[in-house]
Structure 1
């Protein structure tokens, strides 16, 4: 088995020496990022100026994919210019309960910058967590600018830009969707049999 160890060592040395012979990256360019800084993206990718272009490979994308903020990424090596382009598609923060921040797809986003929080839907509630249903409601009502969502074991209250909606569940609201659309601008209570309006 000693000969196999020699082969492995030789291959490692060959790769390391070969990578040093390849052109080094003169510059790095990040695009598509709104919530992560360029520095954060490069750190996640493990890239820095001066690295051999050969070191940029599919493993680099896997490193980026480990971040909950990045849904996908694309990397391009410009050999003549010795430049690396990194384009990322970030998950969009949607809601927060003051402790956690959730993306539109339900992913929990760590280390959210404080300046982002006021623009998110504020979620409060008690009893068993209903966060999955809450996110479904927020996505369903996105066009109507949800601001605050509160839940209890009995149901949900959602404060929209011009309307307040009370519904026992997501499905009940979907079932009475036409009634909701016909009374936006009011306080709407949703029931299995229909909707009621309270203008006070």
Structure 2
């Protein structure tokens, strides 16, 4: 008798599983919040299309999408039978790099984001000092260019060029003066040339 119940439960479970695959298909998929990414690329990454079994669309499908540097957040909702809504918050490019990439406002490197970045152009030698560049970009949004080298940081403004061996010195200097000419900011003081 126990074997018969087990077989019946197995048949019932298999029937319910097959029914779940065909009974309620995905009829509509909305993707909201896109700026840079395309709807088709998002759906391909999620492996989601109309006709898929709606009951088996879960939030774990978002994992590959969240690995994309352009995606800051993503949420999957199922507001009604057959409907799926994917809400995406993309990162915003902030500082264009000479490589063609960009630094996002939160410091993530965005591939091919330079044309979309409104901040000062960034050039440099050595490892990318993300936090220092973001701070300088926010402090000097009107700058034409920010350069970094092992020796320090350069900020090119209209009518002024600033240099400091550490970004913190430039951040502090920006609070106190309107620069003109060539300005060198050190821990011990400021040197200015016309």
Q: What is the TM-score with the length of structure 2 in the denominator?
A: 0.75
Residue deviations 1:52-91, cap 9 Å, x none? 22232121222221211111111211324x3221111111
Could you tell me which residue of structure 1 aligns to residue 3 of structure 2? none
Structure 2 gaps of 5+ residues are 1-6
Quote the offset at 1:18 in angstroms. Answer: 3.8
Could you tell me which residue of structure 2 aligns to residue 24 of structure 1? 25
Quote the offset at 1:196 in angstroms. Answer: 4.2
| Aligned: 1:151 with 2:153 | no
Quote the offset at 1:21 in angstroms. Answer: 3.7
Could you tell me which residue of structure 2 aligns to residue 170 of structure 1? 167
Residues 139 and 174 in structure 2, CA contact (< 8 A), matched pair in contact too: no
Could you tell me which residue of structure 2 aligns to residue 61 of structure 1? 62
Could you tell me which residue of structure 2 aligns to residue 141 of structure 1? 139
Between the aligned partners of 1:22 and 1:138, the Cα distance in structure 2 is: 57
Which structure 2 residues correspond to residues 1-200 of structure 1 after superposition, within 5 A?
Answer: 13=14, 16-80=17-81, 82-95=82-95, 96-110=97-111, 112=112, 115-116=115-116, 119=118, 121-126=120-125, 128-141=126-139, 144-160=141-157, 164-179=161-176, 182-183=177-178, 187-198=182-193, 200=194
Structure 1 gaps of 5+ residues are 1-5
CA shift in 2, pair 1:133/1:71, >3 Å: closer
Residues 26 and 84 in structure 2, CA contact (< 8 A), matched pair in contact too: yes
Which deviates further from its counterpart, 67-76 or 21-30? 21-30
Q: What is the TM-score with the length of structure 1 in the denominator?
A: 0.73
The runs of at least 4 aligned residues of structure 1 exceeding 4 Å deviation read 9-16, 160-163, 184-187
Residues 34 and 89 in structure 2, CA contact (< 8 A), matched pair in contact too: yes
Larger radius of gyration between Structure 1 and Structure 2: 2
